Amino acid sequence: MPHPADYMPGLPPVPQLPISLQAMPPAAARFCLATARFMEAELGVPLAGTHFLVGFSGGADSLALLTCLHALAPHKGCRVSAAHLNHSLREAAGAEEAWCKATCHAAGIAFYSHTANVPATMQANGMGMEEAARAARYDFYHSSIQASGATFVALGHHLNDLAEDMLMRLVRGAGWPGLSGMAGICATRQLVRPLLHTPRASIETFLHTLKISALMDASNNDTAFTRNRIRHTLLPLVMQENPRFLEHVALLWRQGQGDEAYFAEALHNAGASTAPPPSCVPQPKAQPLFHTTPTAFLAPLPQALRLRWYKQQLQRWGVPPLAATLFRLDTACMGEQFPKTFQFSGGCTATVHKRHIEWCLPAP
């Protein structure tokens, strides 16, 4: 196999991943065991018998996660594969894909890859680069799950990412409990984030201890992107005010997860179905999806439950609602303002009628 350096000089050496916890320095093994405890105790994901498909970009986060799960596999009885998407966004993308493939080949890890033309998707659909790249990744993860038979796609988001996500949601006006940030596990998309409570500094120390170097993505420093501005400008200021901010982020996340579980049960007991809408099945191309839900049960509920019910409906389709719009939607429902239509991201609308809400999503 040609070495990735043949395609693009300057890439780090292909790492040799430790085959077990015993093959690691004690500090690195403790890092892996702490990750396993978080998955099993906090996320409720047993490692034994589970097949993890790591979203592997070659960056520090995904490399640490792949290394960690690979070392845990013989100890915990899990299985690990890797999935790499070439976004066709940078000149180095082909060499980086070859580097990732060589890393997995050397470790005996099954490797799945795909090349997506993100620039063409952006032009064809009028999407921003982040939105188009994210859509391509999740489409790829879905197809890779089918091809590999994996239980979960494991993503390398860490505690600093969670803090950035919370700040970004606050800036954009997300409602509670969305302010507690990204989920540690998403059953519908078969996603798990094993490093979500691990600080970025711990990941860097882990790789340094193992003498492993990751790929560097220069776009992570581009402050044209909102997340990068928060990462390099806002989060450092917050950390300067409170050096223990990341600890509080982890605590807020735990509170949010508890609230989500409580309100989901309360909605279920109130008669608000959480099953996927049966009428939202694929329609002929260019046909929008419609779903009608009755609202008679809403009136006696406290506003906190009603707001979470609206949010729940939208999240079924991956629509991130803003708190202000949910409050206006609730005012229309309770104030009998019929008909009235509300616009959400991604072209989704909700139209309030006397006895129901009609949800409309753009064509798939």
Sheet of 349-352: strands edge to edge? 289-294, 356-361, 349-352, 340-343
Instruction: Provide the CATH number for the domain formed by 4-248 in this structure.
Output: 3.40.50.620
Question: Residue for token digits 């409170």?
Answer: 242
Helix (H) / strand (E) element for 328: namely helix 323-334
Q: In the chain, what is the straight-line distance between the N-terminal and C-terminal CA atoms, in Å?
A: 40
- Average pLDDT (172-201) is 90
Nearest Cα residue to 148 out of 77, 51, 68, 78: 51
DSSP, residue by residue, 87-102: -S-STTHHHHHHHHHH
The partner residues of 191 in beta bridges, in order of sequence, read 153, 186
Question: What are the residue boundaries of the structural domains of the chain, listed by start?
Answer: 4-248, 289-361
Nearest Cα residue to 187 out of 45, 40, 361: 45
Which pLDDT value is given to residue 185?
94
pLDDT tens-place string over residues 271-290: 775 444 433 333 334 467 88
- Rounded Cα gap, residues 15 and 147, in angstroms: 26
Q: SS3 of 141, please?
A: helix
Nearest Cα residue to 128 out of 166, 94, 89, 158: 89
Q: Please say if the pLDDT value at position 317 is more than 90.
A: no
Nearest Cα residue to 339 out of 347, 325, 350, 348: 350
- Rounded Cα gap, residues 183 and 230, in angstroms: 20
Q: Among 279-288, 324-333, 338-347, which stretch is predicted with the lowest mean pLDDT?
A: 279-288
- Rounded Cα gap, residues 205 and 203, in angstroms: 5
pLDDT tens-place string over residues 62-76: 999 999 999 999 999
Q: How far is CA 277 from CA 274, 342, 343, 359, in A?
A: 9, 19, 20, 10
- Rounded Cα gap, residues 337 and 262, in angstroms: 30
Q: How far is CA 249 from the centre of its chain?
A: 17
pLDDT tens-place string over residues 87-135: 988 888 999 999 999 999 999 999 999 998 888 888 887 778 888 888 8
Residue 92 contacts residue 232 (beta carbons within 8 Å): no
Nearest Cα residue to 330 out of 355, 359, 310: 310
The model's pTM: 0.86
Q: Please say if the pLDDT value at position 3 is more than 70.
A: no
CB atoms within 10 A of CB 22: 10
- Rounded Cα gap, residues 168 and 153, in angstroms: 24
Backbone angles phi, psi at 152, to 5 degrees: -140, 150
The answer to whether the Cα torsion of 202, 205, 210, 215 is positive or negative is: positive
Question: Residue for token digits 């790499």?
Answer: 84
The partner residues of 163 in beta bridges, in order of sequence, read none
Which pLDDT value is given to residue 281?
36
Which pLDDT value is given to residue 212?
96
State the average pLDDT for the chain: 89
Alpha helices in 108-158 (DSSP H): 118-125, 129-148
